[in-house]
Structure 1
Amino acid sequence: MSKFKKKKSGELPAISTASLPDIVFMLLFFFMVATVMRDTTLMIENELPYADQVEKLQKKDLIMYIYAGKPSDRYKSQYGTESRIQLNDKFANIKDIQQFIIEERESKREELQSELTTALKIDKETNMGLVSDIKYELRRAEAYRVNYTTKTGEASQNLQ
């Protein structure tokens, strides 16, 4: 006469899900911190020229980017092979630059509007006439703080 009896059913006990919400929120927090959001998808070829006197800009949120260069392989069939301007995620004309600057200024707080800098990311093969046209439109939009984005290196590397 035994006091203890063995279970004959062989069922597994239920899995405890008490810590599941903690694990889900920990994973969510990890991916929110570790994920980098891309601001702009480049639609142009953008190999920057080299410069030996380079300064790093401190406040990235006060920078408006204007890209110029030949359309990348994906867009050559639609837009040709001539150098083009890209503002945010779309191709633009020279005349669109002034409106772009106005919209970017309006999206910032009033006390920060005077500190906005326009960064030109120009492909090294881009015609200087296009760069001059961009600079002229920036003057018309009263965007006088202009930065040329480059790679660090010797300027003689641009001739190769």
Structure 2
Amino acid sequence: MSKFKKKKSGGTPAISTASLPDIVFMLLFFFMTATTMKDSDLKIENTLPKANQTAKLHKKQYVMYLYAGKPNERYVTTLGKSDRIQLADKMASTADIKNFVILERANRNSEDEKYLTASLKIDKNVKMGLVSDIKLELRKIDQLKVNYTTTQGNPVE
């Protein structure tokens, strides 16, 4: 008679879930650091013009964005087909630029106001009259630091 008996069918051992919380938190931290938050939802078309001499803005916390262009296809029925201005997430007129800039200045420290730059992200097909109206409104409220956002490329093409 034998002292040792063979196991007939023990089955597969259970999977250890001890490291599962570590994996979940590691994925959570990865997506928290790799994901960027969207500033605003564009309701206009924004194909930027090309320029061959560009410089990068280094401190984006001092930048406020003003968008101009034709409404996207899904907003054409409500907004029409003419060129429009978008400030943050809202469609606006040139008269609303003053309140937008004042609100942006109020949200910043008084020391940061001198660094505040108005960045114009204007579609390449927008009429120059709208651009000059935007610049005139910015001049009226003494917002003289203006940046034109473009993409790198050959402007002749």
Give percent identity, aligned residues only. 60
Gaps of 5+ in 2: none
| RMSD across aligned positions (CA) | 1.8
**Aligned pairs, how many?**
157
Q: Quick one: which amino acid aligns to residue 115 of structure 1?
A: Y
SS in 2 for 1:104: helix
Q: Any residues of structure 2 matched to 1:34-73 within 5 Å, and which?
A: 34-73=34-73
Report how far residue 141 of structure 1 moved: 2.3
Match of 1:123 in 2: 123
TM-score of the aligned structures, taking structure 1 as reference length: 0.87
Query: Match of 1:139, SS?
Result: helix
Moved more, 101-110 or 114-123: 101-110
CA shift digits 1:91-110 (9 cap, x unpaired): 11111111111121222233
SS of equivalent to 2:65: strand
Q: Which runs of 5+ in 1 are unaligned?
A: none
**Alpha-carbon distance between aligned partners in 1 of 2:150 and 2:53, rounded to the nearest angstrom:** 10
The worse-fitting range, judged by mean Cα deviation, of 33-42 and 111-120 is 33-42
Shift of 1:120: 0.4
Rounded to whole Å, the distance in 2 between the matches of 1:76 and 1:37 is: 26
* Secondary structure of the corresponding residue to residue 74 of structure 1: helix
For the structure 1 residues 51 and 12, does the alpha-carbon distance in structure 2 shift closer, same or farther, using more than 3 Å as the test? Answer: closer
* CA distances 1:114-146 after superposition (whole Å, capped 9, x unpaired): 101000011111111111111121122221100
Aligned pairs for 1:6-25 (under 5 A) are: 6-7=6-7, 10=10, 12-25=12-25
